[in-house]
Amino acid sequence: MTTKTTGTIKGFIFDLDGVIVFTDKLHYQAWKRMADRLGIAFDETVNDRLRGVSREESLDIILENAHGPALDAEEKRRLAEEKNTYYRELLEELTPDAVEEKVKDTLVKLRQRGFRLAIGSSSKNAGLILERTGIAGLFDAVSDGNNIQRSKPDPEVFLKAAAFLGLEPADCAVIEDAEAGIRAAKAGGMFAVAVHSAAGCPLADVSLGTFEELLNIG
């Protein structure tokens, strides 16, 4: 299969969680631990709503099921940090095996063909994940939750990734597994590629059945 684009694609910007590395389970475990401590109902259905959004917005979604008075900004900050502490503990168990060989091979081949590659993730732990999985060297730039003010569906994280690559937004394809990310890519004027749970999203320019099909985009 060959997927036709405008013919100007020079760079690929990848969401991290759910695209390159599948850390959804770890996020769920960390949020669940926090929610259980607080007596807040939290399950996979609620967790699905957290895809592609920031830690702070995720916390607000979880707190919809909380009882009692509303929390102030400082209390929310502490809870977000509590979850992140749990999550980082789980990330320490990540190894290079967490990235499938077909994903690594595809990234290597894209680089060999002269494409520039970047991460565009709302996560503030992107650097740690890339380090633990041993794939940091496959990317020319990283734009993550540490350098943005607005999370997806705002295009800021992708626009900064394109700038870090030295490319125009129209020269970039974004690979996403969440509708919020697809919306962000389109808002930024980029070619939107839907994979995994976002496959079939009508807003995407193309949906792929496998990660390796990226090699057919041109």
**Known catalytic membership, residue 48:** no
Which secondary structure element, helix H or strand E, spans residue 46, and what is its range? helix 44-48
Q: Is the peptide bond before 153 cis (omega within 30 degrees of 0)?
A: yes
Q: Residue 127 burial by CB count (10 A; 0-12/13-18/19+): exposed, middle or buried?
A: middle
In the chain, the amino acid numbered 211 is F
Q: Which of 185, 198, 195 is nearest to 217 (CA)?
A: 195
Q: Rounded to the nearest 10 degrees, what angle do helices 156-165 and 179-187 cross at?
A: 60
72 is catalytic: no
Single out the catalytic residue among 17, 171, 177, 205.
17
Spatial contact of 81 and 178, defined as CB atoms under 8 Å apart: no
Beta strands in the chain (DSSP E): 11-14, 116-120, 141-143, 172-176, 191-194, 206-207
Tokens describing residue 217: 């985009």
What residues are annotated to the active site? 15, 17
